[in-house]
Amino acid sequence: MSEAGAGRPLAAFGRRILKVTRNEQLGAYRLLWVDDAAGPVPAPGQFAMIAAAERWGGGCDERPYLARAFSIARRLGNGEAAFMLEDVGPGTKRLCELRRGEGLAVLGPLGRGFSPAAAGQRLAVVGGGVGIAPLAILQDALVAAGAEHVTLLGFRDRVHAEAATLLGDPLVATDDGSVGHQGFVTELLEAELQRDPRLAVRACGPPPMLEAVRAICARAGVPAELALEAPMACGFGSCYGCVVPRRDGSYLRVCVDGPVVDAEQLERVA
């Protein structure tokens, strides 16, 4: 399985305490910035295991205990890195309250990121909700490389859709039609595939969205890379907790064999 890691940016061995530089609101989300100038430069799609350096624990049900996985959403030239947070439980709650100057324990960058576009290949970057996080850094790389692409994002409503600004000026769909197309982002993808059936897809978002993307791409016969999520204890392949079944019935570990996987590997995204 080390094969999967060929060429991936390596993580420092052991977690590092980074300083929070900013904690910004981004629609319904928070953007947590840390100074990681001394750390390895991540590839788009990689993630980190993070925890508050102090007071990690003592929340609801005496949690959190384990670190939490977050996509690296952006990395600036000055070494600042951003995580995009949706407050869904005790871990994200604690992370959302971190202030400038406080410490963040970070292990990473981890996992297998998106592959670069093949020469001449046009990409559709498709995301939903907080799943847009790894697509921001991916888009940064595509822009830097001058790679042709279209960005399609889906959100619940206007407040959540404010986060679309993270990726400049993408095409947006909202469930309630308050911004952009009313409906699913996968409808935008299907329209795009009509226009350009030779697209390759890079996607991240909630499982139903990813499953729809997978099914659409399979039908259209276009290659898709999906950034998966799974509950993780370690993030570096040691606990075997983050498995997802492959098409052949064996399990892949999302943290080392993913989080970005070829859609073909999966029977479906659950």
Ligand X SMILES: Cc1cc2nc3c(=O)[nH]c(=O)nc-3n(C[C@H](O)[C@H](O)[C@H](O)COP(=O)(O)OP(=O)(O)OC[C@H]3O[C@@H](n4cnc5c(N)ncnc54)[C@H](O)[C@@H]3O)c2cc1C
Q: Which listed residue (39, 113, 134, 154) binds other proteins by CB under 8 A? A: 39
Contact 213, 202 (CB under 8 A): no
Enumerate residues 198-237 that contact ligand FES by CB under 6 A.
Answer: 232-235, 237
Q: Binding to other proteins by residue 22, rule CB under 8 A?
A: no
Draw the binding track, 69-108, toward ligand X (x: CB under 6 A; -: no contact). Answer: xxx------------xxx-xxxxx----------------
Q: Binding to other proteins by residue 232, rule CB under 8 A?
A: yes
Q: If contact means CB under 5 to 8 A according to the sort of partner, which of its own copies, other proteins, ligand X, none does residue 211 touch?
A: none
Find the shortest distance in angstroms from Cβ 164 to ligand X.
Answer: 15
* Residue nearer to other proteins on the CB measure, 108 or 170: 108
Q: Binding to ligand FES by residue 241, rule CB under 6 A?
A: yes
Single-letter residue type at 222: V
Contact 104, 74 (CB under 8 A): no
Find the shortest distance in angstroms from Cβ 86 to other proteins.
Answer: 18
φ, ψ (nearest 5 deg) of residue 154 = -120, 145
Q: Binding to ligand FES by residue 66, rule CB under 6 A?
A: no
Task: Measure Cα distances from 211 to 11, 19, 226, 263, 267 in Å.
Answer: 30, 37, 9, 9, 9
Q: Own/partner pairs for 13-16, CB < 8 Å, 24+ apart?
A: 14/107, 15/49, 15/51, 15/67, 15/105, 15/106, 15/107, 16/105, 16/106, 16/107
> Taking every pair of C-alpha atoms in the chain, what is the biggest distance, in angstroms?
52
Enumerate residues 122-141 that contact ligand X by CB under 6 A.
Answer: 130, 133
Contact 96, 173 (CB under 8 A): no
* Residue nearer to ligand X on the CB measure, 28 or 185: 28
Q: Judged by CB under 8 A, which stretch of 1-9, 130-138, 157-165, 173-181 contacts other proteins?
A: 1-9
